[in-house]
Amino acid sequence: MMNTATMNTKTGKSAIRPMFDSLELRKDFPVLDRIIEGNKLVYLDNAATSQKPQAVIDSLVDYYRNYNSNVHRGIHTLSQEATDAFENVRNKARLFIDAASEKEIIFTRNATEAVNLVAYSWGDTNIAAGDEIVVSIMEHHSNFVPWQALAERKNAKLVIVGLTTDGELDMDEMKAAINEKTKLVAVTQMSNVLGTITPLNEIISLAHKQGALVLVDGAQGVAHLPTSVRELDCDFLVFSMHKMLGPTGVGVLWGREAILNQMPPFQYGGDMISIVKTDRTRYNELPWKFEAGTPNVADVIASGAAFDYLEKLGMENVRQHELELTEYAMHRMNSLPGMKILGPGEKELERRGGVISFLYGEVHPHDLGQILNESGIAVRAGHHCCQPLMTSMGIHGTARASFYIYNTREEVDFLVESMKTVDKVLGI
């Protein structure tokens, strides 16, 4: 099914064509056989959540049918099997993002909870009045509101960096924003609205020069780009498994071991302790110090099947497939009169991912989404949890088509043809 593309992960350019057949691969995703409004489902809402391959579904069923048990607590066979399977996924997560140690991999409910963990545990102990936290205007609310709330709690300042007219992070503004008062820069790896890929290496080096830490929101990036925390040299990385073939209910926080060791627990209770006495408690070691209570055993285990699937494809190949599909989609969509695609343009593909937010004449994005649904096409419409970005662009929302490994050129063609129907029905 594959051959290996050699790709420069910085430029996003590959020497050879991609390596997996999306049509073939679709057979692994049962939901893609759904008929919606008389048409085969065209699922273009991957930035919200991806579909799940049979292997992930099977892994969930296998756990519940054959070794359902709580982890870390029992000496019986089922509990040992569940614990082994659960901890094995921690290692898969480590390998996937090239982390140094499993101690640095913490399972959460989602990326949002991972950000909140850092905001409360690290933030409440390290941010003081007058400190500055830098974010970008294109952050998802999940990587915006926790920092805004932390700044409010501590009387610190939230500094918001804007975009250039091309929808890229304004690096001049970023340079000016990061100074000796900056304690943290929290920035997305890839925008869930504009597809913009941020120049993380540059930002991280600017922050570190000022002694500030960097949290990377990889909710989109990790699902679509090869990601190495050691190459990036960031301090925290968060992502959600449901956007990368895994089940809902599992997020990952990666943090540098030395920093995590200094941080107090986020939540208190079972599993996160080593000894509890009536007058004091000694907390567990990493990573369990941050995993209070029964974790999401089934979904973490099934996340292992998602990692396996993506590893088999190769993230360079995933990126290459999306680059080609995005280029094709932008080219075709731009041929429609009245079409306005936001974010980096067709010529700046290496600086964007497969997320296409667009406006179509005067048509309201919700109407657009509804009419496309009548053709079986699932796109998202609205502010995409990025209201500050929408306000800065002077709009209320967009329609958004976002791709993943199983999307094809034929689906893009169908989208473009269906847009013409929108024009006929509503008039753009």
Q: CB nearer to ligand PLP: give 240 or 418.
A: 240
H helix intervals, 97-123: 111-117
Beta bridge pairs of residue 276: 281
Minimum separation from the CB atom of position 28 to ligand PLP (A): 22
Window 385-424: contact mask with ligand PLP (x via CB under 6 A): x---------------------------------------
Minimum separation from the CB atom of position 83 to ligand PLP (A): 25
The two three-digit tokens of residue 418, written as one number: 């269906």
Nearest to 188 by CA among 323, 403, 385, 398: 385
How many residues lie near ligand PLP (CB under 6 A)? Answer: 15
Q: Which stretch binds ligand PLP (CB under 6 A): 4-12, 90-98, 135-143, 149-157?
A: 135-143
Minimum separation from the CB atom of position 174 to ligand PLP (A): 18
* Choice from 22, 46, 188, 284 touching ligand PLP (CB under 6 A): 188
**What phi, psi does 375 have (nearest 5°)?**
-100, 5
The two three-digit tokens of residue 144, written as one number: 């915006």
Minimum separation from the CB atom of position 345 to ligand PLP (A): 21
Report residue 401 CA to chain centroid gap. Answer: 16
SS3 content of the chain, % helix, strand, coil (to 5): 45, 20, 35
Minimum separation from the CB atom of position 387 to ligand PLP (A): 13
Q: Which stretch binds ligand PLP (CB under 6 A): 86-94, 124-132, 137-145, 157-165?
A: 137-145
Q: Applying CB under 6 A, does 192 fall inside the site for ligand PLP?
A: yes
Which stretch of DSSP H or E encloses residue 339? strand 339-341
Nearest to 351 by CA among 219, 163, 186, 85: 163
* Choice from 50, 240, 284, 317 touching ligand PLP (CB under 6 A): 240
- In 10 A of CB 1, how many CB atoms? 9
Window 256-295: contact mask with ligand PLP (x via CB under 6 A): ----------------------------------------
Q: CB nearer to ligand PLP: give 197 or 359.
A: 197
Q: Which of 36, 385, 426, 428 is catalytic?
A: 385
Subset of residues 20 to 79 that bind ligand PLP, contact rule: CB under 6 A: 47
Q: Which stretch binds ligand PLP (CB under 6 A): 78-86, 88-96, 138-146, 369-377?
A: 138-146
E-strand stretches of 58-166: 105-108, 132-136, 157-161
Q: Look up tokens 């929808």; give the residue.
A: 167
Minimum separation from the CB atom of position 157 to ligand PLP (A): 22
Q: Are 262 and 290 in contact (CB under 8 A)?
A: no
Q: CB nearer to ligand PLP: give 141 or 332.
A: 141
The residue type found at 125 is T
- In 10 A of CB 389, how many CB atoms? 28
H helix intervals, 250-296: 257-262
Window 93-132: contact mask with ligand PLP (x via CB under 6 A): -----------------xxx--------------------
DSSP 395: -
Which stretch of DSSP H or E encloses residue 139? none
Q: CB nearer to ligand PLP: give 40 or 141.
A: 141
* Choice from 52, 140, 154, 224 touching ligand PLP (CB under 6 A): 140
* Choice from 89, 163, 184, 219 touching ligand PLP (CB under 6 A): 219
Q: Does the active-site annotation cover 386? A: no
C-alpha separations of 347 from 166, 320, 344 in Å: 11, 16, 8
Between the two ends of the chain, the Cα-to-Cα distance in Å is: 42
Q: Are 377 and 42 in contact (CB under 8 A)?
A: yes
Report, as residue numbers or ranges, the catalytic residues: 385
Binding residues (CB under 6 A) for ligand PLP: these are 47, 110-112, 140, 142-143, 188, 192, 217, 219-220, 240, 251, 385
